[in-house]
A = this chain, B = another copy of it.
Amino acid sequence: MSTLTIEDALKLQVGADIRLADIDPASTPGLKGSGDKLDKRLDKSQDDIKDELEDLQERLFANHRAGTNPGSVLIVLQGMDTSGKGGAVKALYRALDPQGIRLASFGKPTEAEQQHDFLWRVRKQLPEPGMIGIFDRSHYEDVLIQRVEEIATPEVIEQRYTDIAEFEKELAQQGTRVLKFMLHISPEFQKENLIERLEKSEKHWKYDPSDIEARLKWEDYQRAYEIAIQRTATDESPWFVVPSDNKDYARLVVQLVLLDTLQKMNLDWPSAPVDAETELERVKALPDDPRD
């Protein structure tokens, strides 16, 4: 059965020539078929990477515990409302050991946060060595909503692109691999999602009327994304635009890119704090019951 591969996922990396209008949110590049057939291929792809992803993340986390520094990974999730950021977070938690994940969600800045530079609150949430950080929204909000809603002046926004690029360069130098994903949905798909939130009482809490304001400025947001990506996409801190009308597809892409990054980190198990063979003899010789 054909499955989605790391190579397929990496093809979604975009650069300075990104044009969102050229990327169909309803497509599933690398995987053919639709309906049940597509679902099965997605399931199979997910199954195929499960063990390796778990193994590599455990190696990363083991180094964290051992106090060595194997580097870290930071996954940045961005996208319009209802694009599936929360679901992607859930899927990552299911695929990995939660103890090795550091999740941070960024909402509207608090008053205290507004008193500081926009990167202040972000720096506080960076993953420690050996950890995988996930940002559900991020410092990119400061050049997306703040640009579209004109919360910051054009000069300030302009400076922020430079600041973000330098910040991420600094992270790369410190050994943090930053992987940035835009979960790209169609307005039709968003409308369906918004209606669902309003139709089901148990989904009302997810509904925010300001989502409609953002939707009315769809084109402005798409443009803000394009510029942000153009100004900050590098091979060291790459951007991926992931067609996300199919949520399982989008979640899988994020995990495949993560797998690729972990593979390239050449992660070894940290050495045992003692000579394992000698220690094994010692432990085997212990009484089964220490009270004996």
Residues of chain A whose beta carbon lies under 8 Å from any beta carbon of chain B: 55, 58-59, 62-63, 65-66, 86, 89-90, 93-94, 97-99, 101, 103, 105, 136, 187-188, 191, 194-195, 198-199, 201-202, 204-209, 212, 215-219, 269-274, 276, 279-280, 282-284, 286, 288-291
| Copies of the polypeptide in the assembly | 2
Residue in contact with A218 in the complex, picked from B188, B273, B279, B290, CB distance below 8 Å: B290
Q: Tell me which residues across on chain B come within 8 A of A187, comparing CB atoms.
A: 288-291
Residue in contact with A207 in the complex, picked from B58, B273, B291, CB distance below 8 Å: B273
Residue in contact with A99 in the complex, picked from B86, B191, B202, B274, CB distance below 8 Å: B86
- Name which residue of chain B comes closest to A186, CB basis: B289
A268 CB to closest chain B CB, in angstroms? 10
5 closest Cβ pairs, A-B complex: A62-B205, A204-B272, A93-B98, A218-B290, A198-B280
A270 to B103, CA, bound (A): 24
- Name which residue of chain B comes closest to A58, CB basis: B202
A276 CB to closest chain B CB, in angstroms? 5
| Residue with the greatest number of chain B CB neighbours at <10 A, chosen from A65, A195, A272, A280 | A272
Q: Tell me which residues across on chain B come within 8 A of A66, comparing CB atoms.
A: 205
